[in-house]
Structure 1
């Protein structure tokens, strides 16, 4: 499937449709803001309407007024979007049905004039049956519509108007289109663009295979890609505004289509694994499941989830989007039913009736998901083309009834049988929450009283047993909401999701408050909220698979969530995907992980259950589990909880999604291909040995021991973030921009700086990879002890008490690779991207800086901050062994001096004195000779003597040669010192088997401007 072509089709189609609809709205009398002059409104008359000095049908008046009311309610831009996706979804769906031989080719061209078949046949007298039946297919005003069609058919120039009536009625009449996409709003027919049938128009695009091949049309994946790409521009628009996401913006902002192989991994290792656990002798299906991960140890039979019949398995995606994951669940469940001897139709009906549930916030996604599943069913058995049974997929539209509080309470009481006041009140409470459904979606937490829910299920079955036609109107209004309540209080055997991604800062006020009130430990992002919600919705022994952002594995904001994992659930396997999982396909640049977890069956051992643990404070929860693990003699308990082991695949280096797939398949069973990708038997509770409990599955036992047996760096040196100006253009300057006399160099305490009458003071601000000294470009306005900056709205002055106090080590908190640490002078200030580590004992600053620049710290930070965000949190958790060694300190002192001399040799330094060529003198010459002698001995083992000739101080060529030798000497000395420091720190920490002291020449950070090429 060529996704690039599909993306081009979807985005072009959206723009064509929106432009056509905008033009059509203009022809109907609306201006660009949705306003209409009074004289441009239609007038209702006896037997018709008058508009634009022309007679129209009475139906036109009501359609026009419906459009007018909708624009006043939602705004003209939202109506553009609604009408565009209405026609896009339905016409695409019709084309897909046609390509799958599930309907006649109504959109195909009958002639070179691009007349659709549905119009051509009507002109020849073959009027669709829907127009001949008494109610015209159930449409209101059917006789008027038929008469209007007959009149239009007499005029061959009215092909677009003919097509609009015919295709609208056809959509009402076709079971799949009507059931999946519902009734077309009465005004939508008015908005069918005039150019819908033009050359290059939307129908023309559908009728040609330049974008979508016949093979693509057979794939249910096509629905997901079309939806993903259709909303991609809308997604860009939402993110461009850089604010809180409103309810109608959340779907576009959070939708992302999951690569197919990752979906297969998630489904095969949840639904498939549970089936194999219950049918251990099944081999044929297992061979078919290419992405199934075999557990490293045979699971304990006591902890396995058991079920009686396939119909009992409850599988759900509670953020289903366009249904990609549901489709793969359908595929696997269908194979299970067929393997157990069910017929095709029986298998499909069972899946739709008993097994599969989907929910999404977005009505469009829900419609496409239902359509994709029905298409899948029809491909198995054409009898489902009449849509006599629908997949169980819900959205959040119309779940909140339009009733006042008193009427709603009475309706809830009636729904619950009219005699159970408490249950009626509970239902009314749940419907109060449903008022926020369009903001909250599947994370809503309803009353979970077992008796109440049992009664609610019973009453829902009672009201719907014989259909809903005879239900009172107030009861009908409750049914869709009750469906959602039941779905979101169900305990599932399997949950598989790609949840929405949204940082807490983008959540609107309703969503933000609800998340903080109900998901405190997972509030940092919406995806982590879905993790928390999903874990609680699992039955004991059930499995959940998700693909989401890897940030939850490492960042401190998810630390409490990780603790929930460690002490309540077992990670079966994980694909650590890293970057480039989605980017090639959908423009996403997030870093991802996909995983499968199990909710253990604690109750098998007669102990505290996981659900009971969930209700306790975190520290108490951890204490309970630790106590159980110490006291219980059960070998099964120890094996399945304390020594829970997972299998991890490190795919972060894959160049793209396809490359990651091949890496996984090549290493799935432990066949290493040279890189360390496969990590079996990783003990889950070992993660807790590292501060913050990051999911550092690759960390060796030796490094774990270093973390547990040493102080954290913060115990001996404080990593501190600096000031944030809120307006860099106002408060920051390059040091050579202001008057040099106004810069406060060398102020060694805050009082001296305040009295200096200076305005600008040197400040760190991160910068490129450079060790030991440098990256000092900026000055900040700190006049009168930072008076203006302190009082500026939005500025944040952090760690003020540290200003002008101590020397330290500064580093760039955001990096693209290894961190680099540089000397920080007490007379400087520090900014938020140029944090500083202040030693408690200033005499140890050199040793600490040498340690920070060693490969040990890079290795530790791969676990503490693999996202390359080296902020103060992970820096402070680095293990540190307090040592005294004057040799180490001297080596660092030399490195700082060499790097400072390199920095000051350039005019970009405020301490620049003169051109380096002019600094070459006799002493330089003698130092160079000594270097040549030492270099020769190191290379050959021979002692030589070089007699100096007379210095050629007047020769530029001679000076250039001496300049090169001088800086080669400094460069190689720095290289030698760095490797010696690394060797000593590696020996001190006992990591000789894991790290090397080697430093590549391109990591030596002097001569960065290409002055000399050191090979």
Structure 2
């Protein structure tokens, strides 16, 4: 199998994406040049141009939008050129008169003689073999690009090396690369995935080693069972002869095999199977041409939801047939490929008339109407039942075919590509009904339940209730129904179905009823084009027959391998035998565990676990504890994941629970979002235990007993005497190793945390030797256990400055002596203003009181180094130039001390306690500290002609003007809180601390008056609201602005409605 090298593939990727951009821009310009976007036809158009314009406008209406037309033109124009070059580079571009291959250079010479474009000549020659792809009368292809746009595409195409077009996988890669931009757009939108978007989002070209592994251990295994001495054994490096097979129900000859890929994409599995079958049939002595025709006509079958993709698959199979030696001037059988994504267009009433008044039959026909109406989302998952006891199967089938036969507007894209005609939907139904394939292999679309539209969710819940967590696992079950008894099927699947609790019933069912052949857990980096751990897959082969008592399968765990090269190499040898029946003894029937893991007593005998609360809207309900001045009845502690491997961590958030459940629960009720999730973790609240991160590093911290979120799983011992032993175990490398064996995903469930072996006596002995755990305590100012102590804290300068501004930590003692130094109004100017002491002197006083006899200039230098300040500015330099940036980073970019300045090094700069920064305090800052004092002082210095005074005065007056704009609150210096109705939005500077720093800091950041820019974004938040919000949509948009007039009008209307309702 000749495939693209990584460097060549990357080059092709860049070229195709550049071509999409160039083709799209060229299409838009060409269409506008013909005034296709205008209602009125321009007078200067020729009759031919007018007719083309009319046809293009008709096509636009059929496609649905202008952008759809532009994309369609871009696709057709580029792919005509691309496919022509594929043919030419493989000597398959045949001159219609001389029946000999021509090169693109020769096409260019012929084009010059005939006064045509070279690509028109190439398309004309290619049309004899693929008339549907190279249609001579397609308005999308008749449209002429501007010379510069045509030249840009030609430059891109000629820049692709010739050898690229001679590999087996290049054709498939081109379509995935063409979809890259669309995939990114759809993913970024956050909307549910449906129809054509499914193709863009789930398109993932299967790695060659995966294709070979699955086919060699299904199709190859059958051949070597029949021909154990075949020389093909040496070529099939992934074939495993240890696997037990029963091919008694299979045919003797290769020509009688039926192979299906139900999600065939651009035909990667089909092309590889073609070459394997060709070698087999020739080994059987069949002539080359007859063997090729037989493979295309009888052996290979493919289904695909994307009509363009299925055409490319047909082209790919035909290309391989011609390259293998099938004459280009002879009839090549139509590939058995069908598009299962063609929705029907008939009206329901017309369908139901076919029932002839039979109510039972009408009900069955209505059911299938609804299915095929959504074929572009359901695709191969659609199951055609054979009828029940109420409606005979033959009657239902006859009526269904009569209804589908009327779908004349829905052509078959594969037949059209080869110049033939067929009913696309009827052809799809023919294959969807079949259950007699000997071999099914595929790489199905991966799409989680939450990303699916409701029609897809509902159908999978009905048909595939044990596998519907992902589209790919639903396909796993669907493949089983395509296979005849004793048939073989192999898939690329998400590896998590092998161990997640969600799939326990699926695993149990298949371990009881299907015979596993091979299971290879590949983990991260299995695909060259997807880095990291985005997609983690397994390769699985099974037989559609019950396992025997002694059945074994081969298992390979390649999680530790880091690249596709390593995985493809290890896949050849790195397997161990596992008894299938033993897997049913594993916790949750997890597949692939060692015997020691399945037989040991597990941790769940000694503790239970709990999942946390998922609010569905964290920006609304969750803030950091330092974002409010005092934790009142509206807020409760909310433990989250620990970012470091420390005893205490994740103690920094608050949940807006509300007194007597008022705020959080009542809001969920009003939005119809109430359910068990609001009280998730209730069994753990108030108990002693441990919190373990369920994503990333499995850090362990002491559980606080409070409410907690879904980033941690809480483990509560059933008896307190187990506390120490359990802690020593879950913080050991042995625990992590065992956890990875049963669930190697980045994100695990809380239930998995306690499904590991646990030897209580051993770990109790370890706990006794290591001594008791310390009481919960933290010197980290970002944890709510911190008591506000300056000396002994991890960052004394930050704590001292916060205390200077009057901030108090939640657990701080009431009689703390440092409170005497706190500024009362929360305004501390760094340069002295209004007769106050300079900020640096006040700070030194607090530090001196905190450290007592330890305080000295050397101690001050030590604290500056500890804070990361290595410059020569001393304490004042740190306070003026470095503190605010460091404070923002330390407190998760939700600062509670704000530094406002005028943008000059020697100008006005002030530290503000955000909690005290109400309207009155801001007015005091603007007109007293800044206006009456600093600005007056600068005016005096201007009169005295002091250096820099004019510059400082101008900067201060500009700052005052900006602060006045914030005070007034007209856009863009307004506060907007997306979960509040318009009549509750702040009018001017009226911040509500309960809304959080993110909402309230926006006017100051818009005005550019902060000393450093925190990493705060106001993009769209995840999820949607159940009812429209201020944006007029259900989208969670934050970067909106409303005028004061709009807000006051809303308040008036709200007051009027309230009055009227009384």
TM-score w.r.t. structure 1 length? Answer: 0.68
Cα distance in structure 1, aligned partners of 2:455 and 2:88:
43
State which of 354, 358, 361 in structure 1 corresponds to 2:302.
Answer: 358
For the residue of structure 2 that corresponds to 1:597, the secondary structure is: strand
How far 1:117 sits from its partner (Å)? 5.7
- 1:83 maps to which residue? 73
How far 1:722 sits from its partner (Å)? 2.7
Does 1:72 pair with 2:20? no
Does 1:92 pair with 2:39? no
- 2:339 maps to which residue? 395
Distance 1:403 1:799, change over 3 A: closer
Aligned 8 A contact 1:718 1:837 in 2? yes
Aligned 8 A contact 1:574 1:595 in 2? yes
Distance 1:371 1:656, change over 3 A: same
| Equivalent residues in 2 for 1:928-1007, closer than 5 Å | none
For the residue of structure 2 that corresponds to 1:545, the secondary structure is: strand
Does 1:824 pair with 2:703? yes
Between the two proteins, the alignment pairs up a number of residues equal to: 764
- 2:493 maps to which residue? 548
Which consecutive residues of structure 1, in runs of 5 or more, have no partner in the other structure? 42-51, 107-113, 126-152, 154-158, 414-419, 465-475, 603-639, 669-676, 744-756, 920-952, 964-1015
How far 1:780 sits from its partner (Å)? 3.5
| Equivalent residues in 2 for 1:799-948, closer than 5 Å | 799=680, 801-802=682-683, 805-816=686-697, 819-826=698-705, 828-879=706-757, 894-897=772-775, 900=776, 903-904=778-779, 910-911=786-787, 913-916=789-792
Aligned 8 A contact 1:781 1:789 in 2? yes
Q: CA offsets per residue over residues 277-332 of structure 1, 9 Å max, x none? A: 1223x331111212211215x65x6x644313222100111100000110000000
State which of 445, 453, 467 in structure 2 corresponds to 1:522.
Answer: 467
- 2:678 maps to which residue? 797
| Equivalent residues in 2 for 1:525-924, closer than 5 Å | 525-584=470-529, 589-600=534-545, 640-665=547-572, 668=573, 677-679=574-576, 681-697=577-593, 699=594, 701-706=595-600, 710=601, 713=604, 716-739=606-629, 742-743=630-631, 757-793=632-668, 796-799=677-680, 801-802=682-683, 805-816=686-697, 819-826=698-705, 828-879=706-757, 894-897=772-775, 900=776, 903-904=778-779, 910-911=786-787, 913-916=789-792
Distance 1:122 1:245, change over 3 A: same
- 1:292 maps to which residue? 239
Aligned 8 A contact 1:503 1:525 in 2? yes
Distance 1:163 1:99, change over 3 A: closer
How far 1:435 sits from its partner (Å)? 3.0
Aligned 8 A contact 1:808 1:823 in 2? yes
- 1:203 maps to which residue? 154
Distance 1:587 1:738, change over 3 A: closer
Q: CA offsets per residue over residues 389-418 of structure 1, 9 Å max, x none? A: 2221111365747476547866x99xxxxx
Aligned 8 A contact 1:317 1:325 in 2? yes
- 1:63 maps to which residue? 52
- 1:434 maps to which residue? 372
Aligned 8 A contact 2:488 2:542 in 1? yes
How far 1:123 sits from its partner (Å)? 5.2
For the residue of structure 1 that corresponds to 2:92, the secondary structure is: coil
Aligned 8 A contact 2:341 2:379 in 1? no
Aligned 8 A contact 1:806 1:842 in 2? no
Aligned 8 A contact 2:382 2:432 in 1? yes
Aligned 8 A contact 1:539 1:599 in 2? yes
Aligned 8 A contact 1:578 1:652 in 2? yes
For the residue of structure 2 that corresponds to 1:177, the secondary structure is: coil
Greater alpha carbon shift after TM alignment, 877-886 vs 550-559: 877-886
State the Cα RMSD in Å. 4.0
How far 1:649 sits from its partner (Å)? 1.9
Aligned 8 A contact 1:723 1:797 in 2? yes
How far 1:225 sits from its partner (Å)? 1.0
- 2:146 maps to which residue? 194
How far 1:10 sits from its partner (Å)? 0.7
- 1:748 maps to which residue? none
- 2:19 maps to which residue? 13
State which of 324, 329, 341 in structure 1 corresponds to 2:268.
Answer: 324
Distance 1:192 1:839, change over 3 A: farther
Cα distance in structure 2, aligned partners of 1:426 and 1:783:
51
Cα distance in structure 2, aligned partners of 1:758 and 1:455:
64
Aligned 8 A contact 2:641 2:650 in 1? yes
Cα distance in structure 2, aligned partners of 1:785 and 1:561:
41
- 1:447 maps to which residue? 385
Cα distance in structure 2, aligned partners of 1:458 and 1:308:
37
For the residue of structure 2 that corresponds to 1:544, the secondary structure is: strand
Distance 1:513 1:729, change over 3 A: closer
Cα distance in structure 1, aligned partners of 2:284 and 2:311:
31
How far 1:64 sits from its partner (Å)? 1.9
Distance 1:167 1:642, change over 3 A: same
Q: CA offsets per residue over residues 666-689 of structure 1, 9 Å max, x none? A: xx1xxxxxxxx432x201122221
Q: CA offsets per residue over residues 734-755 of structure 1, 9 Å max, x none? A: 334432xx23xxxxxxxxxxxx
- 2:986 maps to which residue? none
For the residue of structure 1 that corresponds to 2:589, the secondary structure is: coil
Aligned 8 A contact 1:766 1:775 in 2? yes
How far 1:219 sits from its partner (Å)? 1.6
Distance 1:958 1:907, change over 3 A: farther
Distance 1:454 1:304, change over 3 A: farther
Q: CA offsets per residue over residues 234-262 of structure 1, 9 Å max, x none? A: 11111111121121211111111011121
Aligned 8 A contact 2:642 2:701 in 1? no
Distance 1:53 1:166, change over 3 A: farther
For the residue of structure 2 that corresponds to 1:495, the secondary structure is: strand
Cα distance in structure 1, aligned partners of 2:565 and 2:602:
43
For the residue of structure 2 that corresponds to 1:376, the secondary structure is: helix
Aligned 8 A contact 1:492 1:542 in 2? yes
Aligned 8 A contact 1:18 1:80 in 2? yes
Aligned 8 A contact 1:356 1:391 in 2? yes
For the residue of structure 2 that corresponds to 1:510, the secondary structure is: helix
How far 1:832 sits from its partner (Å)? 2.5
Distance 1:954 1:355, change over 3 A: closer
Distance 1:97 1:165, change over 3 A: closer
For the residue of structure 2 that corresponds to 1:445, the secondary structure is: coil
State which of 38, 43, 56 in structure 2 corresponds to 1:53.
Answer: 43
Distance 1:835 1:6, change over 3 A: same
State which of 114, 118, 121 in structure 1 corresponds to 2:110.
Answer: 121
Cα distance in structure 1, aligned partners of 2:294 and 2:477:
29
Cα distance in structure 2, aligned partners of 1:865 and 1:653:
14
Does 1:177 pair with 2:177? no
Cα distance in structure 2, aligned partners of 1:409 and 1:516:
30
How far 1:387 sits from its partner (Å)? 4.8
Which consecutive residues of structure 2, in runs of 5 or more, have no partner in the other structure? 97-102, 406-419, 796-852, 864-1062
- 2:884 maps to which residue? none
Does 1:379 pair with 2:349? no
How far 1:836 sits from its partner (Å)? 2.2
Q: CA offsets per residue over residues 360-406 of structure 1, 9 Å max, x none? A: 11111111111111110111124145554222111136574747654
